[in-house]
Amino acid sequence: MSLPLSRSDISTVELDDNIAIYDEVGRVLVLLNVSAFAVLESCDGATPFKKIVADLAHRYETDLDLVREDVWRTVRKLASMGLVSDAA
């Protein structure tokens, strides 16, 4: 995905160190950790995948290659659940 876009019609609730995402259309509840939620929030349909990776690597002061792998896996998983698509 070059321009990941998260759905705008999902609800979120903070629960301790996690964020619950509720998809009313698919009636699915997903529990995300803080870093997975940061990926979801970054999927605005305007920010390229490479920039999301660079921003998160800088934010968490982590190796770019490691972040790239984690973000790719997270975006793919969110896409498989119908929560993220490619805006390109």
Residues 6+ positions from 22 with CB-CB distance below 8 Å: 10, 11, 12, 13, 28, 29, 30
Structurally, the chain folds into a number of domains equal to 1
How do residues 1-46 score in pLDDT, each as one tens digit? 589 999 988 999 998 889 999 988 778 889 999 999 999 999 999 9
- Please indicate, yes or no, if residue 35 is contained in any of the structural domains: yes
Cα separation of 10 and 79, whole Å? Answer: 14
pLDDT at 51: 97
Q: How many CB atoms lie within 10 A of CB 37?
A: 18
pLDDT value, residue 1: 56
pLDDT tens figures, 41-64: 999 999 999 999 999 999 999 999
CATH number at residue 72: 1.10.10.1150
Range of 14's domain?
8-80
Residue 1 lies in a domain: no
Beta-carbon contacts of residue 55 (< 8 Å; ≥ 6 apart): 42, 47
Partner residues linked to 15 by β-bridges: 18
Tell me the per-residue pLDDT of 69-83, one tens digit each, with 9 for 90 and over: 999 999 999 999 889
- Answer whether residue 2 is part of any domain: no
